[in-house]
Structures are given as structure tokens and as C-alpha cells.
């Protein structure tokens, strides 16, 4: 049973507020009367929020790969609003390419945003949340933090790392009154599939047909409405005991359950060999 604490007057710090879930959730929080420090690499992309919501929003230029800029932005947000209740790591992008095609430089660049960027935010925010004795860190992951698709395997790997970091973090900061929740969306009709949210590795001809079939298959996937998601996010941040993991949408649980059933069966099929190797 979900218990609510009834407090909807919250201060948010959100990365990647210019589009996608970051924009949807920032606007929804402002509409319900919360205050938001909205960040984006390009201030012009979030200027409309300031015009529309006035003193309830603080817009900040932020590249999450820049640790010093992250620390400065988090400090400014805290000084401006006097506290931080919710820190939402939402910035990220996907690298499209097979394991052979993508260069280590491309993979490192994606990890700088998808893994190290959130770490910069966490490192900057934790001393503030710890001093407050409360706070809630949210991280936008994916159902691909549990299952893997070809062609975007490196993106999936960044979400597996993201999930492990946040699960460990949750245990480490619980005693300080800080909650951690990993938001795991399925397929949604956001701008995540746009050119700004994708980077393509140089292709090899041997994978062309395979990738074309994969991309055509993605086009047929049912996609959720991002505007339908804020109420679920509010239930999580208002809950007295929020979940560590939360599937966003109705497609994830059946897919992940099937994947784990297959893994368990394979481990069990090889259990005799595994146990013999114990010595």
C-alpha cells in the first residue's frame, strides 16, 4: 500500500529540462505549485519556463559532464530556494551502433553524460541533503537497465551501471534520511528518439540489414504518452516509503519477468556444473 506524506510544496533540481521527461516533469511540478531549478545545456531552450512561472523557477545553464559547473549549479539552486527536496538526474542520450561499430571514444563520451554526469550531481547534492537530514534522489533509467537490445547495447550498459550505482547509493544514504528511486520508463513518445538525443556510430556494411530490421521493429512499438506520467512521479515523491525501482508504463513488467524467467532457467540448468566448481 502506497502511503503519502501529503506535502506537495517541494523544491526540485532537474537535469535535462529542455525536452522529454525532464521538461514534462518540470512543468508539471511547477503547475502543482512546487519550485524547480531547471537546468539545460542551452538556457534559451528553457527560457519559456522562466517567463511562464516567474519566481517559482530558477533556470540554469548546465552540462552535466562538467563537474565544477554541476557543483556551482546545485549550490546556486540551494542558495536560491533555501533547500532541495528532490534531485532528478534526467540528462542522457543513446549511442546507436553495434558493439563492433562504436568506438571507445564514442562509448566514453556517452558514459560521461549517462553515468558520470549523474555522479557529478549526486556528489554535489549529497552534502546538502545530508545536512538537511532528508531528500529524494530520482534517476531516470530505463527498462533497458534490466534487459538488453542489440544495436543499442552500449546505451543499455550505461543504464545497467546507472542502476547498480543508485541501488548501492540507496543503501548507503538511507541512514541520513535520503531516499533513492530509479525511474524505469518503457517506450514513450518523447524526443528521446530525436537527432539531439541520439548519436550514431559509423556503420559497417555487414550489419546494415540487421540494423535496418531492428530499427523497423522499433517503429512498430507501442509508445506511451509522456503527459500521462506526472501523477505517477508525484505519487513516488510524495510517498512516505518510496520504491527503489519503479516501472513507468505497462510494457516493462511482462518483458522483464520473461527475461528473468529465462535467466533463472539457464542458471538452474547449469546448476550442477556451477556447484561442482565450488570445490
Q: Domain locations in the chain?
A: 11-248
How far is 194 from 214, CA to CA, in rounded Å?
A: 17
* pLDDT (0 to 100) of residue 219: 78
Query: Residues of 3-34 as b/e, b for ≥16 C-beta within 10 angstroms?
Result: eeeeeeebbbbbbbbbbbbbbbbbbbbbeeeb
- Residue-wise pLDDT tens digits, 234-258: 999 999 999 999 999 998 999 999 9
According to CATH, the superfamily of the domain at 11-248 is: NAD(P)-binding Rossmann-like Domain (3.40.50.720)
Q: What residues have CB less than 8 Å from 43, skipping those under 6 apart?
A: 59, 60, 61
* pLDDT (0 to 100) of residue 199: 87
Cβ atoms 74, 13 nearer than 8 A: yes
- Residue-wise pLDDT tens digits, 32-77: 999 999 999 999 999 999 999 999 999 999 999 999 999 999 999 9
Grid coordinates given for 179: 531516499
* pLDDT (0 to 100) of residue 188: 84
pLDDT along the chain (279 residues), means of 10: 55 94 96 97 94 95 97 98 97 93 96 97 98 97 94 96 97 98 89 63 93 85 90 97 96 94 98 97
Q: Does residue 141 carry a catalytic annotation?
A: yes
Q: Does residue 159 carry a catalytic annotation?
A: yes
Q: What are the DSSP calls for 165-207, one per residue?
A: HHHHHHHHHGGGTEEEEEEEE-SBSSGGGSGGGEEEPPP-GGG
Q: By C-alpha distance, which of 32, 1, 255 is closest to 142?
A: 255
Cβ atoms 199, 110 nearer than 8 A: yes
Q: Which of 17, 94, 141, 158 is catalytic?
A: 141
* pLDDT (0 to 100) of residue 8: 59
Q: Which of 10, 35, 159, 211 is catalytic?
A: 159
Q: Does residue 111 carry a catalytic annotation?
A: no
Amino acid at each position: 500500500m502506497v502511503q503519502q506524506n501529503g506535502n506537495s510544496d517541494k523544491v526540485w533540481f532537474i537535469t535535462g529540462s529542455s525536452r522529454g521527461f525532464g521538461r514534462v516533469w518540470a512543468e508539471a511540478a511547477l503547475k502543482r505549485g512546487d519550485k524547480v531549478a531547471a537546468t539545460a545545456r542551452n538556457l534559451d531552450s528553457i527560457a519559456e519556463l522562466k517567463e511562464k512561472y516567474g519566481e517559482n523557477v530558477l533556470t540554469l545553464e548546465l552540462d552535466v559532464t562538467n563537474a565544477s559547473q554541476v557543483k556551482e549549479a546545485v549550490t546556486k539552486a540551494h542558495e536560491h530556494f533555501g533547500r532541495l527536496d528532490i534531485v532528478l538526474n534526467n540528462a542522457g542520450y543513446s549511442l546507436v551502433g553495434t558493439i563492433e561499430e562504436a568506438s571507445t571514444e564514442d562509448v566514453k563520451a556517452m558514459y560521461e553524460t549517462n553515468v558520470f554526469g549523474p555522479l557529478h550531481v549526486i556528489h554535489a547534492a549529497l552534502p546538502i541533503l545530508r545536512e538537511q537530514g532528508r531528500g529524494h534522489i530520482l534517476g531516470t533509467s530505463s527498462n533497458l537497465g534490466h534487459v538488453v537490445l542489440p544495436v543499442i547495447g552500449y546505451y543499455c550498459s550505461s543504464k545497467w551501471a546507472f542502476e547498480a550505482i543508485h541501488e548501492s547509493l540507496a543503501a548507503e544514504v538511507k541512514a541520513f534520511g535520503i531516499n533513492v528511486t530509479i525511474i524505469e520508463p518503457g517506450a514513450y513518445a518523447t524526443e528521446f528518439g530525436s537527432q539531439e538525443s541520439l548519436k550514431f556510430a559509423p556503420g559497417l556494411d555487414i550489419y546494415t540489414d540487421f540494423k535496418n530490421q531492428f530499427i523497423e521493429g522499433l517503429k512498430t512499438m507501442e509508445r506511451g504518452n509522456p503527459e500521462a506520467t506526472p501523477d505517477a512521479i508525484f505519487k513516488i515523491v510524495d510517498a512516505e516509503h518510496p520504491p527503489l525501482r519503479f516501472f513507468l508504463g505497462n510494457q516493462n513488467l511482462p518483458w522483464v519477468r520473461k527475461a528473468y524467467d529465462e535467466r533463472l532457467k539457464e542458471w538452474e540448468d547449469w546448476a550442477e556444473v556451477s556447484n561442482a566448481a565450488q570445490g
